[in-house]
Amino acid sequence: MPIDFIANFFHFPQKNTIQKNDVQNVSFKRNESNDTFVKTINVGEKTSSAYDGISVTEKNFGKLTKDEATAKLYTITNKNGASVSFSDFGATIVSIKIPDKNGKLIDVTQGYDNVTPYETAPVGHAGGTIGPCANKINGGKFVINNEEYELEKNKDNGQTHCHGGTNGFDVKLWNTQILPDGIEFSYKKADMESGYPGNVDIKVTYKFDNDNNLRIMYSASSDKDTLLNLTNHTYFNLDGEENAQENSVLEHIVKLPNSSKITENNEMAIPTGRYIDVKGTPFDFRNPHKIKESINNSNEQLKIGSGYDQNYCVDNYDGKSLIEVAEVKSEKTGIKLNVYTNLPGFQFYTANHLGKTAQPGGKSGLRYEKRSAICVEPQIFPNAINTDNFEEKGILKKGETYNREIVYSFASK
């Protein structure tokens, strides 16, 4: 039997709500190939013209082994046929399909065809919403208001905490609301869940428009001072996700136009608090060049990360303005990705640790190998809470609101 199917019966979960005044029509149809239901929502007049004609579909994405809850897959398709798919498990980006220079749709993100690999073999956090705190925390400890909090140490042989631990936001089932122009995922983190203080209400809103701009908007509030640093961990290969072989991303042309400095790492890839000027180093992408031209240079920081795995600092950061931090191009497909954010830094990562035996096959059936993708993960600096020289600590105070944004913008020629 197919997943979560009962003949002649469709239960629309209460958590998925549609405001009727915001849509032109809602239609349901059965997909005969897999006995799942697809719901199509066409947006109405209340939305911006940038979202005119988009549709949202929903279908089953598989059952979770933990509690047999059913995960859902939501797809926003714009009027030009480009689409982005998300799962409520982890508020995860599952696929992004963009037309190449010849008009052929290319899936440019690594991921899986159902929820099981995301739950049982979450190697690399593919596409997930990372939190409560992205990147590493040295010793798995931090202090807020003179109180020390100790976290799971899930990295570096039990020496560091990373990406919220093994019970982070990317392995939670989020609530979903379909908006007139996007999808909103929400999650309520309980006080001391995963070791972090505060009952925290988090929302991640995805909007995908007719110009192929994917906006990711984070908002959160807490009833206690807490640590919060959210990002997205999508793996991109602009040649297509089926290019899973080792080093397949090295032909990509990268420009990091507004980063004149990186943070120096120690031997565990934790910032020391010192900055490195990128001029004259392999980390200088202010002028575009292919990744292969510098990734194998003799450089201690590259050796620590086994390639690019570095926090870049954003020049002229003010916490409000959206600043372009990356431009990535594929000569093969003509697809270009531009990344914008109002966060102070971003992790530029060339997937140096993929290819592990525990890793299942991806959407194309192939295992994603080392250096088969890149990540651009806007963030507050790693371990900022424990680093005197980093001004912004990632503390969300009681009564304040966390508001940050990431934009992935696509074009092809």
- Backbone φ and ψ for 291, nearest 5 degrees, come out as -60, -40
DSSP secondary-structure letter at 301?
H
Determine contact, residues 231/377, Cβ cutoff 8 Å.
Answer: yes
What does 119-144 look like in DSSP terms, one character per residue?
A: HH--GGGTTPEE-SB-SEEETTEEEE
Catalytic-role residue among 119, 193, 369, 377: 377
Please give the structure tokens belonging to residue 308.
């690019």
Residue from 326, 313, 332, 325 nearest 250 by CA: 332
Does residue 377 have an active-site annotation? yes
- CB contact at 8 A, 164 and 151: no
Whether 252 is catalytic is no
Type of residue numbered 87: S
Contact by Cβ (8 Å): 306, 355: no
Taking the mean position of all CA atoms in its chain, how far away is CA 130? 7
For 362, which DSSP code? -
CA distance between the termini of the chain: 44
From 233, 241, 252, 369, active-site residue: 233
For 101, residues 6+ apart whose C-beta sits below 8 A from its C-beta are 333, 334, 335, 412, 413
| Residue 88 CB contacts under 8 Å (≥ 6 apart), including other chains | 61, 71, 72, 74, 173, 174, 175, 176, 185
Closest CA relative to residue 89, chosen from 52, 121, 116: 116
**Cβ atoms within 10 Å, residue 135:** 27
Q: Is the preceding peptide bond at 132 cis, omega within 30 degrees of 0?
A: yes
Q: Do the Cβ atoms of 73 and 84 come closer than 8 Å?
A: no
Which residues are known to be catalytic? Answer: 233, 377
